[in-house]
Amino acid sequence: MIRALLTSIALFCIPMLLSANDGYKLWLQYYPIENPQAWQENVLKQVSIDGNNETITIIKNELEVASQGFFSTKPLFVKENPSLLIALREQLPSSLSQSASKDLGTEGYHIYSKNGQTVITANSKFGLLYGTFRLLQEIQKQEIISETGIVEIPKVKHRVLNHWDNLNRTVERGYSGFSIWNWHRLPRHIDQQYLDYARANASLGINGTSVTNVNANALVLTPYYLEKVQALADAFRPYGIKLYITARFSSPMEIGGLETADPLNKEVQDWWKDKTKEIYEYIPDFGGFLVKADSEGQPGPHNYGRTQAEGANMLADAVKPFGGIVMWRAFVYSEKTPDDRHKQAYNEFVPLDGKFRDNVIVQVKNGAIDFQPREPFHPLFGAMPKTPLMMEFQITQEYLGHDTHLAFLAPMYEEVLKQDTYINGKGSEVAKVIDGSLHDYSFTGMAGVANIGTDRNWTGHHFHQANWYAYGKLAWNPWGNSGEIAEDWIKLTFTNQKEFVDPIKKMMLNSHEMVVNYMTPLGIHHIMARSHHYGPGPWVTGGERSDWTSTYYHNASESGMGFDRTQTGSNALEQYSTQLQEEWGDLNSIPNKYLLWFHHLPWDYQMNSGNILWDEIAFHYQKGVNEARENVKIWKDLQKHVDRFRFEHVLSFLEIQAEEAEWWRDAVLLYFGQYSGLPLPEGVEAPKHDLEYYMNIEHKFVPGI
């Protein structure tokens, strides 16, 4: 009886499992196209592509998979009269050649139609790969390629994912399962997920990956692990992805047997040169080192009275003969609490401008504190004209609700990138620092802290795939538009149907602001729970460092709240241009979103809206809750457009988010309310519990610590 029942259940489940979409395909769904246009159906019928290398094989495989998904047919690979010609520019027949608008460089591509044929051309096999993915995306979106075609050239040279993955497969600030790198099986087994990972990145133009945590383990530099890293590098290479390693500054002592790691010590310098030579013997195209030093307990040049430039230059000299680079993180702060964390990286690095080797790029977080839901742009951007700077965004949502809170981050990235620094007058946007045009950098880069794990859909929340996607698009072009990125992702991942695309696009574009509203509106920041940063913790105080507490940042008392960073306070505002000092220092002109970041104000301060500060704070928290609830309704109304598996998964996460938005609102308003002494304004719901209840919530074993 039991066996018969189990058999019946299994037979019932088979068709459901076969039809389930678990999200593993990401934005490479290649779902069937209903009523395709003639050019779409014809373009993949007969394909000509010359070459005999792994990248060309990948291109052919991609065309087959896509054509099978779109039209249930496979392309015929031919030598003559193709409907699609994929060729290097130097190999194009004169009858099909067409001058691109500008030089394509080593990674750019040109897609166009001529004489009834579609052409993808580039100067390299990787340009052809990127162009192929772009053509397939246009087919999936059912877009028509214009007569002039599509010319795309990356504006940033090094487009890198930073994995904060540990060798034991835990992931620091990772909320989507364990690390996908199974070091125990490497190098003897290359998991299919490694190749699918490389494929997904190539589809976005990401060309580098650092596979280990910035809180580095020196063991990764030993032969035991280098042969494993080599296997990953070999797997990634055909997709145009270089591999980088995080270097622990104290490695010469920990695995080299030296008594010091002083960067000016010749034995130390020689050790790094020998170690680097060894790495390149394993990986001839090794990208170089990513380094976190003198931060949060990590060793660094400070231990020996040396500067960040002296530490970075030692490693730069080691990789220079092999064409390697050093990405040196600017997230550096003293073991002692400074007068304002906001100021420290600027004070540390600006005096070193021009003192770094030419193969060092300083990696700067988007804001000066630590990946808050919203921060003003980091004052280092524009302040080091002689030193290339690369942007570091966090894709994983350490301070944004972890994996269950929908927060489409492209608007946040765009807000930072398009902010004018005014360093060289109006028109000195952060994006111009990143693409090199502001200071004529030829060495450019962008890094994203990955949100990838062993969850079947890669990112926990299905919609968090969009943040990986958006990062890749903005790393390629920092001037990209959030709305276009969101719409493209929706069409590639779900459907082209307008009745689904339009409301989901609006929901995504509003989601970051929604999270800011119910977590940290009006410039409030760093009020998350201690350590794991999951949930509210405005009461967090005490411990070994005051700048690891909430009370350090919000300064709430009966007199008001906020961090005074004007001349009457820490004067961190002085690190920005005169234009921004005047705008953000003036209560009449500062945007509300930065108000309490730079000013300490009384609870009854009169806002431009006509509300007092306390009421304005409360209204923002309620607005965030209302929006989270509304998203649940929007998603339910669109059920018919989504497969059951993804619909149910996303719905459960949206319901968690709405519930936790209430938790945030109630806990924070109760805490600050004890100082304001004011009632909640009409329209803001009363908390469900008292403050003690919320302060006593203690979540066990929160992922990602």
In angstroms, the CA 15 to CA 72 distance is: 20
The pLDDT value recorded for residue 433 is 98
Quick check: is 398 catalytic? yes
Q: Are residues 171 and 128 in the same domain?
A: no
Does one domain contain both 285 and 376?
yes
Q: Which residue has the tokens 């007199």?
A: 559
Cα separations in angstroms, 142 against 266, 332, 491, 618? 61, 47, 9, 45
Report the phi/psi class of residue 173: left, alpha or beta, with left for phi > 0 and alpha for psi in -120 to 50.
left
DSSP character at residue 606? B
Is 486 among the domain residues? Answer: no
Q: Confidence class of residue 100 from pLDDT cuts 50, 70 and 90?
A: low
| CATH code for the domain of 41 | 3.30.379.10
Task: Give the span between the Cα atoms of 607 and 616, in whole angstroms.
Answer: 8
The reply to whether 536 and 416 lie within a common domain is no
Give a yes or no: residue 594 inside a domain.
no
The domain that contains 294 carries what CATH number? Answer: 3.20.20.80
Question: Within this chain, do residues 324 and 450 fall inside the same structural domain, yes or no?
Answer: yes
139 and 168 assigned to the same domain: no
Q: Is residue 577 part of a domain?
A: no
Residue that terminates a domain, selected from 479, 508, 542: 479
Which pLDDT tens digit goes with each residue over 215-236?
A: 999 999 999 999 999 999 999 9
Residue 8 forms part of a structural domain: no
Which residue in 296, 317, 574, 582 is the catalytic one?
296
679 lies in the same domain as 558: yes
Active site residue 296: yes
Q: Quick check: 239 pLDDT over 50? A: yes
Instruction: Please check the confidence at residue 335 and state whether its pLDDT lies above 80.
Output: no
Question: Where does the pLDDT of residue 36 fall: very low under 50, low under 70, confident under 90, or very high at 90 and above?
Answer: confident
The pLDDT of residue 663 is 98
Q: How confident is the model at residue 9 (pLDDT cuts 50, 70, 90)?
A: very low
Can you give the pLDDT at residue 102? 63
Task: Please state the domain count of the chain.
Answer: 3
Is residue 288 in some structural domain?
A: yes
Mean pLDDT within 222-251: 98
The candidate with the shortest Cα–Cα distance to 395, out of 304, 470, 325, is 470
Domain end marker among 430, 455, 479: 479
The pLDDT of residue 19: 56
pLDDT of 300 > 90? The answer is yes
Is pLDDT above 90 for 17? no
152 part of the active site: no
Across the chain, mean pLDDT equals 95
Rounded CA-CA distance 632/61 in Å is 39
Q: What is the pLDDT of residues 122-132, one digit of tens each?
A: 999 999 999 99
| 253 and 191 in a common domain | yes
The candidate with the shortest Cα–Cα distance to 407, out of 486, 472, 476, 480, is: 486
Beta carbons within 10 angstroms of residue 267's beta carbon: 12
Active-site pick, 262, 294, 340, 398: 398
Mean pLDDT, rounded, for 80-99: 90
**SS3 of 212-244:** CCCCCCHHHHCHHHHHHHHHHHHHHHHHCCEEE
- Is residue 73 assigned to a domain? yes
Q: Are 47 and 138 in a shared domain?
A: yes
Neighbours of 98 (CB within 10 A): 14
Nearest to 74 by CA among 56, 87, 61, 85: 61
Mean pLDDT across 341-352: 96
Give me the catalytic one of 294, 370, 414, 435.
370
Do 546 and 679 belong together in one domain?
A: yes
pLDDT higher than threshold 80 for residue 14: no
What letters, b where the CB count within 10 A reaches 16 and e where it falls short, cover 464-498?
bbbbbbbbbbbbbbbebebeebbbbbbbbbbbbee
* pLDDT of 415 strictly over 60: yes
162 shares a domain with 148: no
Q: Mark whether 98 and 118 lie in a shared domain.
A: yes
Closest CA to 190 of 239, 133, 125: 239
Same domain, 140 and 174: no
The domain of 623 spans: 517-563+600-695
pTM exceeds 0.95:
yes
Q: How far is 225 from 251, CA to CA, in rounded Å?
A: 14
Q: How confident is the model at residue 5 (pLDDT cuts 50, 70, 90)?
A: very low
How open is the CA angle 672-673-677, to the nearest 5 degrees?
130
Share of the chain above pLDDT 90, in %: 92
Any domain includes 213:
yes
Q: Helices (DSSP H) in 245-400: which residue ranges?
A: 251-254, 266-282, 308-319, 341-349
pLDDT at 532: 97
The CATH number of the domain where 556 resides is what? 3.90.1330.10
Residue 457 structure tokens: 């859909």
Give the pLDDT mean for 668-694. Answer: 98
Residue 7: pLDDT band by 50, 70, 90 thresholds?
very low
Instruction: Identify the pLDDT of residue 13.
Output: 42
Report the candidate in 326, 330, 376 with the shortest Cα–Cα distance to residue 350: 330
Is residue 492 in some structural domain?
no
Domain final residue, candidates 455, 479, 503: 479
* Inter-CA distances, 358 with 24, 255, 285, 629, Å: 40, 28, 19, 51
Tokens of 171: 């992931």
